[in-house]
Amino acid sequence: EVQLVESGGGLVQPGGSLRLACAASGFTFSDHHMDWARQAPEKGLEWVGRSRDKSRGYRTEYAASVKGRFTISRDESKNSLYLQMNSLKIEDTAVYYCVRVTSVRGSDALDVWGQGTMVTVSS
Amino acid sequence: IQMTQSPSSLSASVGDRVTFTCRASQDIKNDLGWYQQKPGKAPKLLIYAASTLQSGVPSRFSGSGSGTDFTLTISSLQPEDFASYFCLQDDSYPLTFGGGTKVEIK
Name the DSSP letter for residue A67. Answer: B
Question: Is residue A97 less than 8 Å (CB to CB) from chain B?
Answer: yes
Residues of A with Cβ-Cβ distance to B49 under 8 angstroms = 104-107, 109
Q: How far apart are CA A8 and CA A106, in angstroms?
A: 33
SS3 A5: strand
pLDDT in tens, A52-93: 999 999 999 999 999 999 999 999 999 999 999 999 999 999
The pLDDT of residue A54 is 95
The pLDDT of residue A105 is 83
Question: Is residue B43 less than 8 Å (CB to CB) from chain A?
Answer: yes
Cβ pair B31, B91 in contact under 8 A: yes
Q: Give the nearest chain B residue to A100 (CA atoms).
A: B45
Cβ pair A64, A1 in contact under 8 A: no
Residues of chain A numbered 14-53 and touching chain B (CB < 8 Å): 35, 37, 44-47, 49-50
Q: Are strands B69-74 and B61-66 parallel, antiparallel or unpaired?
A: antiparallel
The pLDDT of residue B98 is 98
Cβ pair B36, B18 in contact under 8 A: no
The pLDDT of residue B105 is 87
Cβ pair A87, A77 in contact under 8 A: no
pLDDT in tens, A5-51: 999 999 999 999 999 999 999 999 999 999 999 999 999 999 999 99
Chain A to chain B Cβ contacts (< 8 Å): 69
Burial class (CB in 10 A: 0-12, 13-18, 19+), B59: exposed
pLDDT in tens, B3-26: 999 999 999 999 999 999 999 999
Cβ pair A112, A21 in contact under 8 A: no
SS3 A54: helix
- Work out whether the CA dihedral A90, A96, A102, A108 comes out positive or negative: negative
pLDDT band at B102 (very low <50, low <70, confident <90, very high): very high
Among A50, A64, A107, beta carbon nearest to B48 = A107
Q: What CA–CA distances, in Å, run from A91 to A58, A70, A85?
A: 28, 14, 13
The pLDDT of residue B81 is 96
Query: Which of A33, A46, A113 to mutate: most B Cβ within 10 Å?
Result: A113
User: Taking 90 as the threshold, does the pLDDT of residue B106 lie above it?
Assistant: no
Task: For residue B44, give how far its alpha carbon lies from the nearest alpha carbon of chain A (Å).
Answer: 7
Among A45, A111, A115, beta carbon nearest to B97 = A45
Residues of chain B numbered 55-94 and touching chain A (CB < 8 Å): 86, 88, 90, 93-94
pLDDT in tens, B77-94: 999 999 999 999 999 999
Kindly write down the DSSP assignment for every residue of chain B, as one continuous string: --EEEE-SEEEE-TT--EEEEEEESS--TT-EEEEEE-TTS--EEEEETTTEEPTT--TTEEEEEETTEEEEEESS--GGG-SEEEEEE-SSSSPEE---EEEEE-
**C-beta atoms of A114 and B35 within 8 A:** no
